[in-house]
């Protein structure tokens, strides 16, 4: 019955919020254990079925981590749910593809441009050497290799912002990167010239950071995102022409 279903949904959400409040009140950290299911039922005044449903929801959001045979723990609090949501939105229709990609490129560049000065001043010699080696991997594998090129690209951008020490920005940046790599293959037009330009821009980022030249770093960022901006614009124009 509609009324019963609505009441059940409301109760389940109340239990979800109750568990979240418990984690905050007890100042639990990722990896800390939660009380047993019976203890949660008693603490929240909820039925076992409601607690189980709430735990499933929180597990899907990575707020809790259910380890079968061991118990329930505070989760990693990652952005996996955000990645899933944005990816699905981007794959839902061609029009969404283009808008999501354009938005993701804007956000990724915004993060790196906003932190440019801190990135340039924070990267160590060892980190710069690692970035150089990742660019070399991109040269050796090429975009056609798929896995090797993409893995090196992801590692490059993760390391680029790591010295800033802002975990939230780091997680957000990598979440947007992950969504982009899932949705981007739906675009056409990535040429060999684009590949060479992308690799060159990555190298320019390293060179600018090594020289502690923020202006050159910002220019390299613009060059880095130029090929994908062009592809999004061209794909959107083709879609408009076909409709």
Give the chain's domains with CATH numbers.
2-74 (1.10.10.10), 80-242 (1.20.120.530)
**In the prediction, which pLDDT does 137 show?**
94
Q: Are strands 71-74 and 64-67 parallel, antiparallel or unpaired?
A: antiparallel
**In the prediction, which pLDDT does 94 show?**
47
Residue 27 phi, psi (nearest 5): 55, 45
- Which stretches of the chain score pLDDT less than 70? 1-10, 77-97, 143-146, 183-190, 243
Count of CA atoms in the C-beta half-sphere (13 A) of 76: 9
**In the prediction, which pLDDT does 199 show?**
92
**In the prediction, which pLDDT does 204 show?**
96
Residue 73 · residue 64 · CB < 8 Å: yes
Q: Which of 28, 25, 27, 39 is nearest to 65 (CA)?
A: 28
**In the prediction, which pLDDT does 1 show?**
46
**In the prediction, which pLDDT does 85 show?**
66
Torsion of CA 75, 80, 81, 86, to 10 degrees: 170
**In the prediction, which pLDDT does 230 show?**
82
Residue 209 · residue 123 · CB < 8 Å: yes
**In the prediction, which pLDDT does 3 show?**
47
Residue 152 and residue 35: Cα distance in Å, rounded? Answer: 41
**In the prediction, which pLDDT does 4 show?**
47
């Amino acid at each position: 019955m509609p009324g019963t279903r609505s009441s059940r949904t409301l109760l389940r959400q109340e239990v979800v919020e109750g568990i979240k409040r418990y984690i905050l009140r007890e100042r639990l950290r990722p990896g800390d254990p939660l009380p047993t299911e019976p203890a949660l039922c008693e603490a929240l005044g909820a039925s076992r079925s409601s607690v189980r449903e709430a735990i499933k929801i929180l597990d899907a959001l990575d707020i809790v981590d259910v380890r079968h045979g061991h118990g329930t723990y505070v989760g990693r609090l990652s952005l996996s749910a955000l990645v899933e949501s944005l990816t699905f939105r981007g794959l839902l229709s061609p029009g969404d593809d283009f808008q999501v990609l354009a938005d993701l490129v804007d956000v990724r560049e915004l993060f790196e441009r906003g932190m440019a000065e801190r990135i340039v001043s924070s990267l160590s010699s060892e980190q710069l050497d690692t970035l150089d080696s990742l660019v070399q991997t991109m040269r050796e594998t090429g975009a056609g290799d798929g896995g090797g090129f993409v893995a090196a690209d992801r590692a490059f951008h993760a390391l680029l912002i790591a010295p800033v020490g802002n975990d939230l920005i780091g997680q957000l940046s990598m979440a947007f990167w992950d969504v982009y790599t899932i949705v981007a293959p739906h675009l056409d037009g990535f040429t060999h010239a684009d590949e060479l330009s992308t690799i060159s821009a990555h190298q320019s980022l390293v060179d600018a950071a090594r020289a502690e030249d923020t202006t050159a770093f910002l220019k390299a960022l613009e060059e880095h995102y130029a090929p994908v901006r062009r592809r999004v614009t061209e794909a959107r124009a083709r879609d408009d022409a076909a409709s």
